[in-house]
Structure 1
Amino acid sequence: MPHHRHSGVNEVGRILPCTCGRATLDAPRILLLVSGDVERNPGPMIRGAQWNAGGLSQAKQIALERKLHEDMVLFCLLQETHLALAECAALKVGAYQHVGQARTPHGGGVSILVRDGVGVEVGVLEEKVPERATVTLRFSADVSLTIISAYFPRKADVSSEALDTLLGANGAMVIGADVNSHHVLWDPLRPSDDKGECIVDWCVQNDMRIANTGMATRRQPGTAALSSPDITLCRDCEISNWKSASSPDSDRYWITFDVFVGTSLDVIAPSKPVRALYSWNRHVGTILEN
């Protein structure tokens, strides 16, 4: 059955007021949040995950391996692993290949885990801001997916020039990033800040879509205040079933999502047949209809 996707962005031209951010948001920006259609894409899915580990200790590695198995994850994007060079080179988590950038004075370390047996082409490993690891997954001669784990330290500036460094590859791409910034399009729990505004502008200019559903991705230690400093972006592919769940192993939540790439890819990571949209997506849809 062919997949019919609503164009959305070009169908709505009016300006929509935003009551929880500083500036008005136009329809294309609102639609950046809605990465899936009302009807789930019937095609095959790849299960991805994203997690700021806050230091990947031995105990957290064990917990991580369990979560990867339970959620049938094909790839996982990790931030703030805090691994030294030797630890990063030796890391092995279950039946997963590892590609990573060790911790430096500038950042906390980023890694990517990919299930054994999947073709992996290692790309950029960068210690400068944004700290990042890049891998391209080769499923067939015609189907590939570039995945990036990125980290912006809290005190680092976010600029369009820095974000542009994430655009090295053409084609389908998923970016899992701890941006340490906030915008109503992915974090309704905090006021938008300048870094968040810059990221949204960059997404609009580069056809990136924000997959977050408005759920929290962090519970602040001590105060239990919730926020969403972690985002998942995609281009030339579809993301559905984005959700976050609190983790006893970190103040950051465990994020999972399904990625659809191409039309001939076999099912690699079976997912549960969840069809309902999350309440935040429904809220955005109501805004667009009224």
Structure 2
Amino acid sequence: MKKEATKKEAKKKEIKAKKAPKGQVQKDQPGDEYKMDPRPESTPDDPAAGRLEGKVAIISGGDSGIGRAVALAFVAEGASVVLAYLDEKKDAEETKKLVGKAGGDCLLISADVTEVKSCEKIIAKTIDRFKKIDILVNNAAVQYPQNSLADITDEQLDKTFKTNILSYFYLTRAALPYLKKGASIINTTSVTAYRGSGHLIDYASTKGAIVGFTRSLATNLAKKGIRVNGVAPGPIWTPLIPSSFTKKQVAEFGKDVPLGRPGQPNEVAPSYVFLASDDASYMTGQIIHPNGGEIING
């Protein structure tokens, strides 16, 4: 018991000591994790329990950030993972190496999820390699801050909606014929879906749409025994942050939530493990809120 208490105290100190982001920017979305300082924390904190043994999971935006942390958490629980990414090859290859070190099986697929055929390719390659799909995590996203609605161009609007919500429709639709009873779909939404964001109007709108998509699809698929849930992270230290904001904004990122700091990807990943596992067998149409203590009543 004393040894266990010591471990808990060490864990508390580790959480308190998490490094704050330094001021930095990246010019391209969705950003590169290998350029970030400090690097996001992706590896699982807790020992695995084999809750996803033998499962096959597809994760869009799986090369870095939350997607990488979810992949590593799934692998720790016994799953094989398919990671779809756009063009962040270095991050994707690093994630694959981390999965390999953890003893997991990983398939990387470079694909533009804003295109229907690319989403169909992801599913086809998954079936060709693993013969089944048990878990689908829709996670890809972009965000482009603007001070005014008038500043949001048609091109930006089109890209944001195609990436953040239409891709969820495309990938899920392509996966549905292969999802059987007990399968789990998990959609990444955001705290901005509930409280809004004055400088991320289009982004927050897509995240609100994801909540509606999650709840509606959950109702639609309930009789088939396929569960659909979502996770709404708050300020999490991912490549989207330095590729979206100014150095000053990045340096202050996450300090306004009750816990006073941004979260790490591996602090969000356990929510996905829970929703993917049989521990959440009586949950569908629900959203989990790892957001640093912000009360959004959603």
Higher-helix-fraction structure: 2
Structure 2 length normalisation: TM-score?
A: 0.38
